Amino acid sequence: MVDKSESGLAEPARTGKRAAKAVAKEQEKPYHHGSLPQALLRAAEVVLKRDGIGGLSLRAIAREAGVSHTAPQHHFGDTAGVLSELAADGFLRLSASIANSARDVQGTSERRRAIARGYIAFAKNNPDLMRLMSRGEMFDAHRPSLVEARRTAGLALAGVFDDAPSAPSAGRHTFAPMDASRAVALTAAWAYVHGLSLLLIDGRLDVLAAAAEGIGNAEELVMAAIDHVQLNIGQAA
């Protein structure tokens, strides 16, 4: 009786199985040629949601994406590069949320409320990304994609003014030049909506919402607060 394993007759079958497994593994990869940077950013956001900011590392991102641990470094340079690109994507999505909320809204007061709602909606739907975007010390502040994304977000926030610019600021500045009174007004409005966003996503308003008659949850409380407060934003001098 012949031992097929010794004669080599079984080897083609084993080789075929290994090849099939390799093909299947390749097909399971979350990217195809040319889309690896996007796949790495998606993986980075998965790691961020699962492990928090402290869990973001090049190795963790590569492991989540199913690629070599050197792949993130090849495309983004270092951890700060990956985080900068992830934050840039967040700022663009924040801008889109604001634009979608304020689109076709008539009236200054209603537009300002819509901008605030768009800001808060983004934070509610992307709490971990919102927290990361607030950690500027972790980014490469001069990375072109981040600079451009921040300028786009700055333009969206400047929509609280009736005569807001129609295009992002030039150079590396997030906001277009403005006088001091306008800067103070925008600071107050931004601080208010950003503070509400953080209180909401950190769960700090849950107990207050539970104690409030006629308020269903913390998000309803935040939206009611937006409707209640009238910020003195004013116009450009």
22-70 pLDDT, tens digit each = 434 433 455 444 588 899 999 999 999 999 999 999 999 999 999 998 8
**How many structural domains compose the chain?**
2
- Residue 120: partners with Cβ closer than 8 Å, 6 or more residues away: 193, 196, 197, 200, 219, 222, 223, 226
State how far the Cα of 208 lies from the Cα of 193, in Å rounded to an integer. 18
> Which residues form the domain of 110?
79-237
Q: Which amino acid is at 45?
A: E
Query: Does residue 160 belong to any structural domain of this protein?
Result: yes
169 lies in the same domain as 88:
yes
Does residue 35 fall inside a structural domain? Answer: yes
User: What pLDDT is recorded for position 232?
Assistant: 57
Residue 118's pLDDT band, with cuts at 50, 70 and 90, is very high
Q: Would you say 95 and 49 are in contact if contact means Cβ atoms under 8 Å apart?
A: no
Write out pLDDT tens, residues 189-226. Answer: 999 999 999 999 999 999 999 999 999 999 999 999 99
Answer whether residue 141 shows pLDDT above 60. Answer: yes
Q: What global pTM score does this model have?
A: 0.80
Better pLDDT: 141 or 170: 141
Q: What is the pLDDT of residue 124?
A: 97
Quick one: 83 and 102 in the same domain? yes
Is there a single domain that holds both residue 57 and residue 88? Answer: no
Residue at 5 is within a domain? no
Separation of alpha carbons 184 and 233, rounded Å? 8
Cα separation, 37 vs 147, whole angstroms = 19
Span 145-170, average pLDDT: 86
Considering the domain architecture, whether residues 117 and 200 belong to the same structural domain is answered as yes
* Residue 201 structure tokens: 């996503």
Mark whether 96 and 40 lie in a shared domain.
no
Q: Return the C-alpha torsion angle 151, 157, 158, 159, nearest 10.
A: 120
Report the CATH number at residue 65.
Answer: 1.10.10
Residue 165 lies in a domain: yes
127 shares a domain with 67: no
The answer as to whether 98 is a domain residue is yes
* Per-residue confidence (pLDDT) for residue 231, from 0 to 100: 61
Q: What is the pLDDT of residue 52?
A: 92
Per-residue pLDDT at 166: 66
Question: Quick check: is 180 in a domain?
Answer: yes
Residues 69 and 93 in one domain: no
